[in-house]
Each structure stands twice: as C-alpha cells, then as structure tokens.
C-alpha cells in the first residue's frame, strides 16, 4: 500500500492534461493517482484514456456532476475512492506540481508524525507564466499565526499546496462546507492544525493557476455566495475563539472584509448595504451608522475607479 493518494477532481478540460502530466512525471512514483471525473465528458474522457494502462493511476467517472452544486460534496466523493493511503493530496485539475514534490514529501515525513503539510507556491496564468513571486511560508506555523497572515493579506493560500493525513481528515470530519467552497479550505486548515502545526515542505513548488475558469479569479460571478461564505468564515472564527485574540486588531478585520468586496468588483444596492452593515456590526467595531458609511464609501471608491478605467 502506497502512503500517498493524489486525488484530482476533474471537470475542466483546458488544463487537465498539463495537471496530470505534472503528477505522473514525478521523480518518485510512490503514490497512487485517482482522477475522478465529475460528470461524463467525452473530451476529458478522451484525454484520460491515455493513462488507463498505468499501474498507479485509477480513473473514476461519475455520471452525475455534483461539483457545480456542492464542491465540498464533490471533494468528499473523490476522497472516498481512495484505498486507505495514509496521506491525501487533493489537487485541482488546473494546477501543477514540480517534479520533485512527491520525493520531497517522503523525505519530510521520515521519522515524523504530521497531519497537515504544505508546499511553497507560485501563482501562474493561463500560459503557465508566473504572476507572483514565489511565496515562501514559515517552516512550521501555528493556526493563529496562519490566520493572522491571511487576515492581514500578507499571504495567499490554496487547496493545491496542502497535503493532509487521513487520520486528521476522519477525526475532524473532513472539510468545512461553505457555498462554492469559498474559505472552506482556510477554515479547514485552522481546524486541522488546532493544537498542532502546519508543516512546510521546504523544497518542491506547487503552481496555482489563476484563470477565468476557476472560482478564485476576481469576478462578480457568484458574488453573493462568496460574500455569504465570507461571513460564515468570520462566524467560524468567532465561534472558535479566534476572535478573542484578533478582535483588538479592528483595522485588520475591516481591511480583510473590504478587500474581498473589492476583489468581487461589486457595488452594493441599498438593501445589500443595510444587510451587510448589520452583519459587519458583529465583526467590526463602529456601530451600524459607521458600518453603513463604510459601505457607501466603498461604493463611491469603486465608482471612481470604474470612471478612471473608462
């Protein structure tokens, strides 16, 4: 039995071949790759047929697509296809891994019992060109330090860079479920690393793709669901006592919330302003009028930016 299951929930055609090739070209082949096609798709099936003869590759085709309805349920269904490998690497179908990642993973876990690992990341565009500097994260990190780095916008985080143990996945009841899985991975990494650490594998790089095809790209599409997930994530922080530690950094929370409004390029109507002002009173100081003013100011700034662009 191999220790590592690499699981690709496959749905998008554009980059799937490059993604798979980055996995099967690993210098260390001590893994089993599960490619789980979320809904029958002839074009993708044609691509996948090239890998059916490989011993360490399993291709599973689900007739019904559930990812477009519930991404977390899709991930769960894919993980259920694995065969009790000790570690699981859930890898999106448009991202890439450097050829030494699996080897570096095994080197790192020698004589260690760790539940959550990650690689350093580089963000790339549709043409595989870097759009950020290589993001190098701490060797080990507590959950609270990870959270502060995310809230302060010092760091991106992705599903692809993380590997987790089956033990922690089962013991902690899997991924936290939010609409579009937006912030689900952030909340889940906090849950998996409570009373423990996030461990960084220092060598090996994961390349995370930003394109118009993935939900992480800036877009107004599904913006209401993304904002709903933002508030569910904030509520998770509050209910798990993270807020007790970070609440003295009110400006940090304000910046975090409004950066996500900005990333969606969304101007709010009157009803949304009233609703989100009420929500924001739970998480940032200033009272209802102050939070209403913040949203009106956001609209004004967005309008100014749009005028400048046109």
Q: What span, in angstroms and rounded, lies between the C-alpha atoms of 216 and 124? A: 13
Residue 299 in this model has a pLDDT that exceeds 90: yes
Q: What is the mean predicted confidence (pLDDT) over 278-296? A: 93
For residue 117, list its beta bridge partners. 163, 199
Q: What is the mean predicted confidence (pLDDT) over 203-224? A: 79
Pull the structure tokens for residue 106.
């095994």
Closest CA to 228 of 191, 189, 186, 184: 184
Q: What span, in angstroms and rounded, lies between the C-alpha atoms of 46 and 20? A: 13
User: Could you give the angle at the alpha carbon of 171 between the alpha carbons of 148 and 74, nearest 5°?
Assistant: 80
Q: What is the mean predicted confidence (pLDDT) over 160-178? A: 97
Q: What span, in angstroms and rounded, lies between the C-alpha atoms of 162 and 189? A: 9
User: Could you give the angle at the alpha carbon of 246 between the alpha carbons of 257 and 216, nearest 5°?
Assistant: 35
Question: What is the percent of the chain with per-residue pLDDT over 70, rounded to a whole number?
Answer: 96
Residue 45 in this model has a pLDDT that exceeds 60: yes
Residue 217 — pLDDT band, cuts 50, 70, 90?
low
**By three-state DSSP, how is residue 48 classified?**
helix
Contact (CB, 8 A) for 102 and 27:
yes
**By three-state DSSP, how is residue 141 classified?**
strand
Span of 37-51, 56-70, 84-98, 173-187 with lowest mean pLDDT: 37-51
Angle between helices 270-283 and 223-239 (to 10 degrees): 20
For residue 97, list its beta bridge partners. 206
Contact (CB, 8 A) for 36 and 7:
yes
Q: What span, in angstroms and rounded, lies between the C-alpha atoms of 208 and 166? A: 23
Q: What span, in angstroms and rounded, lies between the C-alpha atoms of 12 and 41? A: 9
Q: What span, in angstroms and rounded, lies between the C-alpha atoms of 103 and 119? A: 12
State residue 140's pLDDT score: 96
Domains of the chain, earliest start first? 4-209 (3.90.550.10), 223-309 (no CATH)
**By three-state DSSP, how is residue 121 classified?**
strand
Q: What span, in angstroms and rounded, lies between the C-alpha atoms of 258 and 230? A: 11
pLDDT in tens, 65-97: 999 899 999 999 999 999 999 999 999 999 999
Residue 190 in this model has a pLDDT that exceeds 80: yes
Phi and psi torsions of 209, nearest 5°: -90, 135
Contact (CB, 8 A) for 88 and 164:
yes
Residue 304 in this model has a pLDDT that exceeds 90: no
pLDDT in tens, 104-122: 999 999 988 999 999 999 9
Pull the structure tokens for residue 38.
């979320």
pLDDT in tens, 243-280: 877 766 788 899 999 999 998 888 899 999 999 999 99
Closest CA to 63 of 40, 79, 46, 44: 40
State residue 244's pLDDT score: 77
| Strands 162-165, 87-90: pairing kind | antiparallel
Residue 308 in this model has a pLDDT that exceeds 80: no
Q: What is the mean predicted confidence (pLDDT) over 135-141? A: 96
């Amino acid at each position: 039995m191999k220790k590592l299951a690499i699981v690709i929930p496959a749905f998008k055609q554009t980059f799937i071949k490059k993604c798979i090739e980055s996995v099967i070209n690993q210098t260390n082949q001590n893994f089993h790759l599960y490619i789980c096609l979320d809904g029958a798709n002839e074009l993708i099936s044609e691509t996948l047929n090239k890998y059916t003869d490989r011993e360490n590759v399993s291709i599973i085709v689900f007739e019904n697509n559930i990812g477009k309805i519930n991404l977390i349920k899709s991930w769960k269904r894919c993980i259920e296809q694995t065969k009790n490998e000790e570690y699981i690497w859930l890898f999106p179908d448009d991202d890439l891994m450097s050829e030494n990642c699996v080897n570096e993973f095994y080197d790192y876990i020698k004589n260690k019992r760790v539940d959550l690992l990650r690689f350093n990341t580089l963000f790339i565009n549709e043409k595989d060109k870097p759009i950020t500097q290589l993001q190098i994260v701490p060797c080990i990190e507590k959950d609270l330090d990870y959270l502060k780095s995310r809230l302060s916008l010092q760091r991106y985080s992705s599903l692809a860079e993380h590997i987790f143990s089956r033990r922690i996945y089962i013991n902690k009841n899997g991924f936290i479920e939010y609409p579009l899985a937006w912030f689900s991975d952030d909340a889940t990494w906090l849950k998996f690393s409570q009373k423990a650490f996030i461990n960084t594998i220092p060598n090996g790089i994961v390349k995370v793709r930003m394109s118009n095809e993935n939900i992480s790209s800036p877009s107004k599409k599904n913006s209401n669901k993304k904002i709903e997930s933002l508030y569910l994530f904030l509520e998770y922080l509050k209910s798990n006592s993270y807020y007790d530690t970070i609440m003295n950094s009110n400006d940090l929370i304000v910046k975090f919330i409004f950066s996500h409004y900005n990333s969606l390029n969304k101007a709010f109507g009157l009803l949304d302003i009233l609703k989100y002002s009420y929500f924001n009173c739970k998480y940032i100081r200033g009272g209802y009028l102050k939070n209403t003013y913040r949203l009106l100011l956001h609209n004004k700034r967005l309008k100014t930016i749009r005028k400048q662009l046109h």
